[in-house]
Chain A
Amino acid sequence: MKPTIPIVAEARRTLALCNVCGYCTGYCDVFAAAERRPALTDGDLAHLAHLCHNCRACHFACQYAPPHEFAINVPATLARLRFADYRAHAWPGAPSTGVLLALVLACLFGLPLLALLAIPSETLFATQRGPGAFYAVIPWSLMAWPAIFAFGAAALLIGAGVASFWRQAGGAGVATSKAGASRTQRMPGERSIAAALPQALADVATLRNLDGGGSGCNEREGRSARARRHAHHALFYGFLLCLASTVSAAFQHHFLGQPAPYPLFSFPVVLGSVGGIAMLAGIAGLARSKRRADPATNADENQPAEWLLLGTLAAVAGSGLILLALRETPAMGLLLALHLGSVLGLALSMPYGKFVHGFYRATALLRQAMERR
């Protein structure tokens, strides 16, 4: 067994006290799940950390929050553990946020720079119209293969990390660790993965655990709101729309023989522009709620990585929308390179940044749904 890192010990101390206290059970799934795991093994704690949606309700309700000498801070502690866990499962290792930022910036500005150097300016700055306009500037194969490769690698890397988390948290067995156990027992599941899937998907789709027991997320004490959840929905569904846009474009390209760009009232453009605007609105909402949040409930050292994800997604959505707006101007070529750069940056940083939270969280929600009767 690997030595216990300090944040794991702190999470164990915290949730052990919650298990004695029990006042917050009504806020979210974390507390009942912790009660089912009194031993709080490393795997148990990882599961609980990814199950926490960081709504902060329990912190403002905590009779043992600082300055009490027990100094309990569930959201900050679990946020720290989440990041530590992403890093622990990252292969081959976890680059620092500074390195990721450099990578994202290199892609974002490197591709336009490359375009300037490699593409004759009469092509790059020509006003292109009609089918195949994009590929006249950057050939399809140069666009598609690197993207397919980058996203494929990201999927493999994230999948490996999530699989390792799944095993660590108990594999297909569900709760419970007995007091004194060193790892979670594999027990016959109360529900199978298949039976639990609908519930898990609903929890992903609605972020049920982000509602603070009914009143919404807490940015600060006494101020709870549903805005954060709605902002995340906008970003999440906006992102899915953009994905759908890309898939429908690929479909039209390959099966209908219709290369991009597409008319304004086509699937790819409508999905992409609604999705992009939703993403930007969601990002703005999340950023706003982040700035308002009581810093006591944040894990400070994670802030750069959180802002980096917001920034990267904003670059993807923003550059996509600008490209759409200016696609019939001479700026199209460079903007296309910029947008592709942002997407490449997202794909390459994805397995090592906060983006993975969605996959870890979905996995934790699945396990939770298997345990719910």
Chain B
Amino acid sequence: MTEGAAGGTTTSSEPIDVLVIGGGIAGLCAAIEAAQAGAAVRLLEAAPYAWRGGNSRHSRNLRLAHEDETPWQPGRYSAAEFAAELRAAAGAASDAALTELLCSESAALASWLGSHGVAFQPTAGGLLPWSRKTAFFLGGGKAMVNSLYAAAAANGVAIDYECTVPSLRPDDGAARTRIDVAARSPAGERRFTAGAVVVASGGYPANRDWLRERWGEAADRFANRGSPYLRGELLRSLLAAGALPVGVPGDCHLVAVDARAPQDDAGIVSRVDGMPWGIVVDGDGRRFHDEGENLGPIRYSHWGQRIARHPGQRAWLLLDADAVNNLPPLLYPPLTAPTIGALAARIGIDADAMQATVDGYNAARRCDGSDDIKAASCPGLLPPRSRHAAPLGRPPFAAIPMQPGVSFTCFGVGVDQSARLLRADGGALPPAFPRVFAAGMIMAPAILGSAYLSGAALTISAVFGRIAGRNAAALARETH
């Protein structure tokens, strides 16, 4: 199988048509498509088996256009509606042609994934959640990832775990019909030669050094909600080698997460919600934003950004005994104390300052004769409290410590409609690199910019993974 083990370096002698780097949804879709097109495929995954699947492991739903009702999505969601929503969310940052391609291809995705063992949660039976626009995986992202790994193996894809590709020279294949790839593994360096490479190594949410370039020391206080293997070294090396950058360096999708949760890989459960039921204070015990501003789903990412941009990157959600009952189920119970002063002492905030904030808030609350809590506000208070001013009066009082958590990064490389990696400035050279394709979160900012649209990231990853796999296989076979 392998030969030439010398000085800890092994060179794979097996002929490889398509080498896929990264085993999240994008890499798996690419590998399966390429293998079904008849290519000999090898997939290199940085993580060990138990942690395979990158952030795809933590995902939940993907956005799919459909003309008719399906067992997992009611009603109709046209590709045009999907594209319009993407354009509205991402604005000018979004590549129009890629967006159109994505939305129309999304319609065929559910049945393709289904044919490879991925199951969706049916809307029948009345189980939550379901939506017209997105389909939920039965069992979540890890079940999906497991099914795709099984399908890849069944289609003859060779899979190597704990195999990290730190860098790539995308011009390597220009003069020849092969491209060389070197990978790090516990057994030493491994070298591969392939007809084409699909880079599907995701973003860099685990790379705090890189995030520090944009956020300074604040980045050290960001939790990484997903896989610790998403370090982005390969993305960096492609950019250094002249790949077209897309998105904004350092931009992240952030949400407020429980600061007591693990700093890596806590996934969906560490997310904190319920800010409109209380007040949010910083390390000085002072409010810093209107907690009533957003009540819709966008509230999660707004709080992530606010806390990330506020000095100290720490905040506490304060609630009273009534408000606690309105919270959704939580990963950890809130910290409680009989008085605001005792609670302040418990969470390490100046008691007088926090008491003053709570008193000021309660004094400013006005209900204007309405029973509707949404109508209650705090006129004149700074920062304002525009609505949903729930009282903070009944002990025991409770606090949830929060910090920003990165879901994904919004900076990557550009691709064309065949998922070929684009050059930043090729001069006389062709616009795309000869043998390198990119799919997944590494190129998603070309469509999403710094925006977020629930389920779209996964759809981009799967659709462009498939496109990359097909085209890589075609190229590799053409130049056998």
List residues of A whose CB falls within 8 A of some B CB: 16-17, 19-27, 32, 35, 38, 57-58, 60-64, 67-69, 178-180, 213-215, 221-222, 373
Query: Contact between A57 and B269 (Cβ–Cβ < 8 Å)?
Result: no
- The residue that A21 contacts in the complex, of B57, B121, B136, B268, with Cβ under 8 A, is B268
Stretch at the interface among B141-149, B304-312, B386-394: B141-149
Given the known interface contacts A21-B269, A24-B139, A60-B143, the answer about A213 and B119 at a Cβ–Cβ threshold of 8 Å is yes
Least CB separation from B126: chain A residue: A373
Query: Contact between A213 and B57 (Cβ–Cβ < 8 Å)?
Result: no
Residues in chain A near residue B143, CB distance under 8 A: 23, 57, 60-61
Least CB separation from B329: chain A residue: A19
Query: Contact between B122 and A26 (Cβ–Cβ < 8 Å)?
Result: yes
Given the known interface contacts A25-B127, A68-B265, A222-B146, the answer about A63 and B119 at a Cβ–Cβ threshold of 8 Å is no
Contact with A along B131-153 (1 / 0, CB 8 A): 00000111111110011011000
- The residue that A67 contacts in the complex, of B50, B121, B128, B329, with Cβ under 8 A, is B50
* Interface contacts beyond A61-B139, A68-B265: sample of 16 additional A-B pairs, CB < 8 Å, sorted by A: A20-B268, A20-B269, A20-B328, A23-B137, A23-B143, A24-B140, A25-B121, A25-B128, A60-B142, A60-B146, A61-B143, A61-B146, A64-B269, A67-B50, A67-B51, A69-B262
Residues in chain B near residue A58, CB distance under 8 A: 139
Q: Tally A-B pairs: CB < 8 A.
A: 80
Least CB separation from A24: chain B residue: B139
Query: Contact between B269 and A32 (Cβ–Cβ < 8 Å)?
Result: no
Query: Contact between B127 and A20 (Cβ–Cβ < 8 Å)?
Result: no
With A and B bound together, what is the CA distance between A23 and B146 in angstroms? Answer: 15
With A and B bound together, what is the CA distance between A253 and B56 in angstroms? Answer: 66
Query: Contact between B146 and A221 (Cβ–Cβ < 8 Å)?
Result: yes
Least CB separation from B120: chain A residue: A26
Residues in chain A near residue B57, CB distance under 8 A: 63
Residues in chain B near residue A23, CB distance under 8 A: 60, 137, 139-143, 268
Query: Contact between B140 and A61 (Cβ–Cβ < 8 Å)?
Result: yes
Least CB separation from A57: chain B residue: B139
- The residue that A213 contacts in the complex, of B58, B139, B262, with Cβ under 8 A, is B139
Contact with A along B38-49 (1 / 0, CB 8 A): 000000000000
The 5 closest A-B pairs by CB, nearest first: A23-B140, A61-B139, A61-B143, A26-B121, A19-B329
Least CB separation from A66: chain B residue: B50
- The residue that A63 contacts in the complex, of B129, B149, B267, B329, with Cβ under 8 A, is B267
With A and B bound together, what is the CA distance between A24 and B142 in angstroms? Answer: 11
With A and B bound together, what is the CA distance between A221 and B138 in angstroms? Answer: 15
With A and B bound together, what is the CA distance between A214 and B138 in angstroms? Answer: 10
Q: Is B295 interfacial (CB-CB < 8 Å)?
A: no
Residues in chain B near residue A26, CB distance under 8 A: 121-122, 127, 136, 138-139
- The contact sample of 14 A-B pairs, CB cut-off 8 A, is A17-B331, A20-B328, A20-B330, A23-B141, A23-B268, A26-B121, A26-B136, A32-B127, A60-B146, A61-B140, A61-B143, A62-B142, A178-B325, A213-B139
Interface residues of B in 239-282 (CB under 8 A from A): 262, 265, 267-269
With A and B bound together, what is the CA distance between A21 and B262 in angstroms? Answer: 15
Residues in chain A near residue B138, CB distance under 8 A: 26-27, 213-214
Q: Which of A16, A35, A178 has the most CB of B within 10 A?
A: A16
With A and B bound together, what is the CA distance between A17 and B328 in angstroms? Answer: 12
With A and B bound together, what is the CA distance between A32 and B150 in angstroms? Answer: 28
Least CB separation from B127: chain A residue: A25
Contact with A along B351-362 (1 / 0, CB 8 A): 000000000000
Least CB separation from B268: chain A residue: A21
Least CB separation from B138: chain A residue: A26
Query: Closest CB of chain B to A194's CB: distance in Å?
Result: 23
Given the known interface contacts A25-B128, A64-B267, A179-B325, the answer about A20 and B139 at a Cβ–Cβ threshold of 8 Å is no
Least CB separation from B271: chain A residue: A20
Given the known interface contacts A20-B269, A32-B127, A63-B58, the answer about A27 and B329 at a Cβ–Cβ threshold of 8 Å is no
With A and B bound together, what is the CA distance between A25 and B268 in angstroms? Answer: 15
With A and B bound together, what is the CA distance between A373 and B146 in angstroms? Answer: 33
With A and B bound together, what is the CA distance between A214 and B330 in angstroms? Answer: 29
